[in-house]
Amino acid sequence: MSDTTLFQPYPLGPLTLSNRIVMAPLTRNRAGAGLVPSTHAATYYAQRASAGLIITEATQVSAQAQGYQDTPGLYTQDQIDGWREVTDAVHAQGGRIFVQLWHVGRISHVDLLGGAAPVAPSAIRAQTKTFVNNGFADVSEPRALVINELPGIVDDFRQAAANAIAAGFDGVEIHGANGYLLEQFIKDGANQRTDAYGGSVENRARLLLEVTAAVVEQIGAERTGVRISPVSPAGAISSSNPQAQYDYIVEQLDALGIVYLHVVEGATGGPREVAPFDFDGLRRRFTRTYIANNGYDLPLASARLAEGKADLIAFGRAFISNPDLVERLQSGAPLAALNPATLYGGGAEGYIDYPTSAEVHTQ
């Protein structure tokens, strides 16, 4: 394979992607009243529609699922209508777009939940912060979910997936990574349960697999992806047996027929070599599309594609300040730096006002 592979079309289930570059989910904390996508969101995503696939910012499946200020939802009609403006804008530019669905679990704050405690597999507080009241604060003490609450969470994901299709999305990505609820069940650093959802590798994987099966039943496996982060410490989470745990999970996800597996290789937004793990083994266990994520640049992306170690490559923060990232990578144009001060919250500044390379040269 040549270095041009990254820019060649790729079949993803029933879709044909224009290239193998994926825009990774990027939380921007700009939802409006009712947690409806920002009035600028359609412009923001349409500007980046040259990506082969856009995966949106994480979007909560219920009011209980929120963990950060001003993140959008997909559980009310107003939210569905707001997202429809986004999907229409992306499709008008020839793009493809999946929505990432999440429940944050213990990574939340009582001020976001009407005074209620966040929920978790076990009442173990994460030693981390969340974005609330226009700043960062320690997350609140969670309560442990009782077992008869779990079917309701599965149904929240199922309904959000149905809402996603109603909003015009091409598919959904289930967020099973980065220390949020589904991963809290998976990893024994957060899960001390003794019932059918705790203890063994199989039990701790149960909620993720039930959610995935429900979404597949609702919208089809060809429109369902899953994101995992086997060794990332994001959300102050840990696992004593990540290899056995994720080998099992990936085999079960493969059996469900999902269209892609999106893998954070290493620490989310950090070093790739954070802990020993055989990511190539996951690649071999999954028989459909493998999306590789974390610290990728053009040389590494080209090498991994050439070696057959990935099918698609996800780029994250580079998309924030480079709406034309695909074109810049292909032409060799320099990448613009992002403004950290405008990453979270705010309006148009640092959101839809980054110029393309062509615009820079005409200024």
Task: Residue 193: give its domain's CATH number.
Answer: 3.20.20.70
Check: CB of residue 326 under 8 Å from CB of residue 17. Answer: no
48 falls within a domain: yes
Residue 207 to residue 105: CA distance in whole angstroms: 13
252 falls within a domain: yes
Residue 90 to residue 84: CA distance in whole angstroms: 10
296 falls within a domain: no
Number of domains forming the structure of the chain: 1
353 falls within a domain: no
Give tens-digit pLDDT for 174-222.
999 999 999 999 999 999 999 999 999 999 999 999 999 999 999 999 9
49 falls within a domain: yes
Give tens-digit pLDDT for 70-95.
999 999 999 999 999 999 999 999 99
Phi, psi of 100 (to 5 degrees): -90, 125
Beta-carbon contacts of residue 45 (< 8 Å; ≥ 6 apart)? 54, 56, 86, 89, 90, 95, 97
Q: Could you confirm whether 180 is annotated as catalytic?
A: yes
Q: What is the DSSP string of 308-320?
A: TS-SEEEE-THHH
348 falls within a domain: no
Q: What pLDDT is stored for residue 362 in this prediction?
A: 63
156 falls within a domain: yes
Question: Looking at 10, 180, 248, 290, which residue is catalytic?
Answer: 180
The DSSP code for 136 is E
Per-residue pLDDT of the chain (363 residues), as tens digits, is 346 799 999 999 999 999 999 999 999 999 999 999 999 999 999 999 999 999 999 999 999 999 999 999 999 999 999 999 999 999 999 999 999 999 999 999 999 999 999 999 999 999 999 999 999 999 999 999 999 999 999 999 999 999 999 999 999 999 999 999 999 999 999 999 999 999 999 999 999 999 999 999 999 999 999 999 999 888 899 999 999 999 999 999 999 999 999 999 977 777 677 778 999 999 999 999 999 999 899 999 999 999 999 999 999 999 999 999 999 999 999 999 999 999 999 999 999 999 999 887 665
Beta-carbon contacts of residue 35 (< 8 Å; ≥ 6 apart)? 60, 66, 70, 71, 72, 73, 76, 79
- The pair of structure tokens assigned to 77 is 């009609």
Residue 16 to residue 19: CA distance in whole angstroms: 9
Residue ranges making up the domain that contains 65:
23-259+273-289
* Beta strands per DSSP E along 194-303: 224-228, 260-264, 289-293
- 105: part of which helix (H) or strand (E)? none
Residue 69 to residue 71: CA distance in whole angstroms: 6
